[in-house]
A and B are shown apart, each in its own frame.
Chain A
Amino acid sequence: MPSREAKGGGQEERKLELRLAPPGEPNNHLGDGNNKEVAGLLPERSRLPPPPTTMTTTPQTRFSLDISGGKDDDDGFKKPLNTSSQKRSAPGPLVGWPPIRSFRKNNIAAAAAATTPNNNSPQKTNPSTHDHKAPPACENPTEETNGKLKGGGSMFVKINMEGVGIGRKVDLMAYDSYDKLFSAVDVLFRGLLEGQRDKGGVVGELEPINGGEYTLVYEDNEGDRMLLGDVPWIMFLSTVKRLRVIKKTSQLSSQCAGGDRHDNNPTR
């Protein structure tokens, strides 16, 4: 691996020596961003090897632009040739977009679902009937299915398993039915159960999570523990706050909300 250090002795080192000095010392300057000499680690032209021509496939790789070609502009930064069309090469769910806090998302989802009978589809004029020669705002209508953005949004809730100290989070929007949620929870905790088994814990690792020794319950927005499956999936989404995987035996002892939640270590 070629060395990337700027060789050249003491002067280079001094140039690169930037300090957040405590007060009272003489040369107290924060790295002066405008001073081109010490601005950065590329004193002249770049000494880095040329940028990669192919993109390593990371989970969210989306760019197909060629960053090794293109003409130089005055700053020495190369511009890619095809700047106008940046299509997503691997369309996938957009994490964290639009930038809304999940706290807010969950609350609005709950609030909207609760008042759905009052909000009929608004009888508003479609923006395109205005006097604008406006094409649709979204560029690639083929990417949207059923009018939903590829993201579909996310609704992360905690899920804890009885006897397991560490919890997980699941995105309920990634499923559209109880069955899919059950299998996902199965997969999620199977790994943890394997770990428990290695440490000598006793679990029924060959049985499915739901239907075997364990049962999946949820806590709703009123704090009550409820069994899954009674209400339609969408209604479940609007009231669920968190999930729990509990042993069937503990289900039998009657509990009021908040009664038995001290039996596990709080998962932190």
Chain B
Amino acid sequence: MAVPSSFPEEVLEHIFSHLTSPSHLNAASLVCKSWYAADRYSRRSAFVGNCYSLSPRALVSRFPNLRSVEIKGKPHFADFNLVPEGWGGHFFPWVRSMSTAYPWLQEIRLKRMVVTDDALELLGRSFVHFRVLVLAFCEGFSTDGLAAIAANCRNLRELDLRESEVEDLSGHWIGHFPDSFTSLVSLDISCLSTEVNFPALERLVSRCPDLKSLRLNRAVPLERLVSLLRRAPQLVDFGAGAYSAELHPDVYSNLAGAFSGCRELRSLSGFSDVIPAYIPAVYSICFGLTTLNLCYVTVQSPELTNLINQCPNLQRLWVLDYIEDSGLEAVASTCKDLQELRVFPSDPYNAEPNVFLTEQGLVSVSLGCTKLQSVLYFCRRFSNAALVTIARNRPNLTRFRLCIIEPRSRDYLTLEPLDTGFGAIVENCKDLRRLSLSGLLTDKVFEYIGTYGKKLEMLSVAFAGESDAGLHHILSGCDSLRKLEIRDCPFGDKALLANAAKLETMRSLWMSSCLVSLGACKFLGRKMPRLNVEVIDENAHPSLRPDDCLVEKLYIYRSLAGPRFDMPGFVWTVDEDDSGMRSSSIHVSS
């Protein structure tokens, strides 16, 4: 139907500016050409889930008026050292394009990208109104780059370096914020290893009245925390650095006093090396806490339990397995608003349990915390019965990641595989979006996942399955699947090739130590031009290997940009000309 739109462009754009969800805007842009244009000019934020799915130029030409950009780089398994150094994910080409195209850019959020000092300097110079910089799990820059940001971004509100690897050249970068700079709202420097210039930090905190979130690194000693807290009683989120090893009563009372002055505190983190005696210093603000991150706190269960009992309003709890089943029972009875629980292993490389944390802890929480949606749990044993109980207790789970530390562990009660248990999870939790599996699993569990996991968007599989049928169930059944990462599973060519079309509907697929052959990769790469099929081979040129040779690591992702130009020597893609494998034609260094 060719009814001309009766709305002027400006009205359309105004209406679209109220649609915040990208998927809604994407849908709107498909209606007709004028809506496409209106969306194009009014879109203010973009999320690029895979930095290689399109070129910076393509983004800039499609959406010329962005204010906020979020980009993700390396695959998730890079967190666990499965992606070799130098793989890619370079930010520089993006900032170079954006620096000329988006003079009004305000926010950049990056995850798992390589960010250089040059890129940070260019960023600082290019965007006058820049407000938010989040570098999560990034690397490649030093404190010099941070100094450039501090010096140039006069309107900066948020600088968040969470868990990035920063080359710590000097702590003086923080002094590069000019004296006239007062706009800081959020600062996360918890990943830095050396001490920042403390007087400069103190002055910065003093002159920024809107500072709400401050996460310090381990190098800020106890006494100095007091001074900072006193200068920023309006803090909502605080991450302490390290505590000292000895108890000084006067320091303790100062700290307790300082915390009690922070009536707005809702989130606490840090406290590496805290000794138990200092913990009560935070009791005065525990009632209001909604987020508590204790995953660097190595105190034992009784002290953790006492702390938890002070926090009835917790919504998010991250903790080490020192909390044990008993502590989790306390969580179940105290924290009735809990939505997210993460329990990390204190001694992951020891097959023998060092703490009494079992499946029972999670079962308790699933029973007592009716709002629980998100779980990450490391432990050493589990049972189908426990999984079924959890599934029945908490059908509202949206994220469930269970890591039983020993690969291929059986149900410790029945010695069966854990298919039934995980099957119950996917069957009962109808809104499950993210799932990580562990334990001994046959193809059966994948049949359940394919049948019930209709909303599943991200699936992580390790040491599981028996045959290609497993992978086929996933790819053919999970309608919403976006990210699939697999390691050490007997999945191979057949399932992959039979579901090739599915791969274009997903963001990416990672497979390592599986049974995919080089020939299948080449075939897939040739037949599916909108997929980038990348083979990671650190040992030899794949053309030296026969086609039935198995690839060690494989990363497949859909892309409008074609094969990338910045592949390092160990990443190979299909050469369109001679159907062999090649590395980058142009090596781009940023």
User: Measuring CB to CB, which residues of chain A are less than 8 angstroms from any residue of chain B?
Assistant: 1, 4-5, 16, 18-20, 23-24, 28, 30-35, 38-42, 46, 48-49, 51-52, 55-56, 58-63, 65, 67, 70, 73, 75-80, 83, 86, 94-105, 107-108, 110-112, 114-115, 118-119, 121-122, 124-125, 127, 132-135, 137-139, 144, 147-149, 151-154, 156, 169, 219, 221-223, 241, 257-258, 261-262, 266, 268
Contacts and interface: CB of A to CB of B under 8 A. Distances in A.
Nearest to B512: A60
Interface in B305-346: 320, 324, 344-346
B296 A96 contact: no
Contact of B272 (A1, A23, A111): A111
Contact of A32 (B275, B501, B552): B501
Contacts of A169: 85
Interface of B: 26, 29-30, 33, 36, 77, 79-82, 85, 114, 116-117, 137, 140, 142, 144, 163, 165, 167-172, 191, 193-195, 218-219, 245, 272-273, 275-276, 295-300, 320, 324, 344-356, 358, 378, 380-381, 403-410, 412-413, 415, 436, 442-443, 460, 462, 466-469, 472, 475-476, 479, 487-488, 490, 492-495, 497-505, 513, 515, 517, 519-520, 523-524, 526-528, 530, 539, 545, 547-550, 552, 558, 560
A183 B169 CA distance: 28
Nearest to A241: B193
Contacts of B140: 268
B147 to A, nearest CB: 12
A107 B272 contact: yes
Contacts of B497: 40-42, 46, 48
A222 to B, nearest CB: 6
A125 to B, nearest CB: 7
A119 B545 CA distance: 52
Nearest to A74: B469
B353 A127 contact: yes
A46 B500 CA distance: 13
Most chain B CB within a 10 A radius of its CB, from A46, A105, A115, A125: A115
A156 B81 contact: yes
Given A4-B523, A114-B245, A266-B117, A139 B406 contact: yes
Contacts of B77: 96
Contact of B513 (A42, A60, A105): A60
B79 A101 contact: yes
Contact of B500 (A41, A51, A261): A41
B85 to A, nearest CB: 6
Nearest to A48: B493
Contacts of A52: 517, 548, 550
List the 7 shortest-distance A-B pairs measured between CB atoms, nearest first. Answer: A223-B194, A96-B80, A31-B501, A153-B349, A33-B502, A258-B170, A40-B498
Nearest to A224: B194
A58 B169 contact: no
B40 to A, nearest CB: 10
A76 B117 CA distance: 53
A137 B411 CA distance: 8
A108 B296 contact: yes
B412 A154 contact: no
A101 B33 CA distance: 46
A108 B298 contact: yes
B415 to A, nearest CB: 7
Given A52-B548, A77-B469, 12 more contacts: A5-B526, A24-B30, A31-B504, A39-B502, A42-B494, A75-B472, A104-B344, A134-B413, A139-B406, A149-B351, A221-B219, A223-B168
B559 to A, nearest CB: 9
